[in-house]
Amino acid sequence: MAPNTDISTRSFIVALKSPFGGKSTREIAEMTGISPRTIDSIYGRACQRGFEPNARLIKILPQYLEDAPRAGRPRKQEEIHDATLKNTSVVLNHRRGGYRVWRRPDEVFTKSVIRERWKGYSEFMFWGCFTYDYKGPCHVWRPETAQEKRDAALQIEELDKALEPLMREAWELTTGIKRLGLRNKPGRVPQWRWVKETGKLARESSRGGIDWWRYQTQVLIPKLIPFAKECQKERPRVFVQEDKAPSHTHHAQRTIYRNAEVEQLPWPGNSPDLNAIEAAWPWLKRKTTRRGAPKSRAEGTKVWQQYWDELPQHQIQAWIERIPFHIQEIIKLEGGNEYKEGRRDRST
């Protein structure tokens, strides 16, 4: 609002310039000694704040004329402000540097302008697999319970008891071959120790994450391996493609693949992502959030499994058909990934 004018003067200017007053800007300037630019600014700001010059009854309210609050720390904190600062704040809109609105619990607010916040929010991870001809099973990870952790520790302990003699025999054979012909090799003679480096199974995740044990017992053995074996009936040369996540590359998983006679596709470190299933995640996220994000784990699990079941096979085939084109682009870029994803015709 214009400086050096009190609220009564502004009210007088707005009344004179309204259709009821009928005065022009020049006439008001001659009457008050205020510049025409200031007069237009006062009247225009009052109209922006809700003043209706053409209403049957003119109402000039204080909020039409008062100065807007300035940014920064106020010079003086009044008693009423001190009372409001003790209440909870909410962030309006999803904008950078969003406004904060201070209100008492009993004050009314508009629901559409307040973003919901959850202090105890949680999220889940989704796993799925498919081939060109078939869509495989899916899995939604949930937090591991304390009882499941205790059961896992007991099972791993039993596995280690059975595994240690085998690993020790292999270690002694390998160490003996390395030391053949070395009469006076410096250093201590190697001693057997049953630790992670010699093959002992152990869980390193202490927060219930997705480690090798959970992946093996909940996905690899009950879901992925049976799906791969079923696919081998029509395509004997089936390879399982996984990235180098620690849960996938643990040495215990190689034993599962070897015993099941299922081959893994090598995944070099720091390589471009050429897994067709990566395109499925944005598709599923769009579908599952069309009516808003799920509000609970149960709702999220239900909707993700629903759209996984509805994922059409022709869409999966389109994603897989992009991979040869991506490979050619990567070769042109000498291993780089600065290419636009999609098929050669850019349709998918």
Burial class (CB in 10 A: 0-12, 13-18, 19+), 51: buried
Which value, to the nearest 10 degrees, does the dihedral of the CA atoms of residues 335, 340, 346, 348 take?
Answer: 90
User: What's the alpha-carbon Rg for the chain, to the nearest Å?
Assistant: 35
Burial class (CB in 10 A: 0-12, 13-18, 19+), 234: exposed
The full length of the chain comes to: 348
Predicted confidence at residue 209, as pLDDT, reads: 72
DSSP category for residue 114: B
CA proximity to 242, closest of 287, 214, 275 = 275
Q: CB–CB of 238/231 below 8 Å?
A: yes
66-70 long-range contacts, CB within 8 A, separation 24+: 66/1, 66/7, 67/1, 68/1
How many whole angstroms separate alpha carbon 139 and alpha carbon 146?
21
How many whole angstroms separate alpha carbon 52 and alpha carbon 42?
14
Predicted confidence at residue 333, as pLDDT, reads: 85
How many whole angstroms separate alpha carbon 151 and alpha carbon 213?
12
How many whole angstroms separate alpha carbon 301 and alpha carbon 57?
58
Predicted confidence at residue 21, as pLDDT, reads: 81
CA proximity to 217, closest of 246, 245, 252, 265 = 252
Structure tokens at 190: 């190697």
- Provide the residue-wise pLDDT of the chain in tens; the chain has 348 residues: 555 688 888 888 888 888 878 888 888 888 888 988 898 888 888 888 888 887 777 788 888 888 776 655 555 544 433 333 333 333 333 344 455 666 676 776 666 555 555 555 556 789 999 999 999 999 998 888 899 999 999 999 999 999 999 988 888 888 776 666 555 666 777 888 998 888 899 888 656 578 999 999 999 999 999 999 999 999 999 999 998 888 999 999 999 999 999 999 888 777 777 889 989 999 999 999 888 888 888 888 999 999 999 999 999 999 999 999 888 888 888 887 777 777 666 555
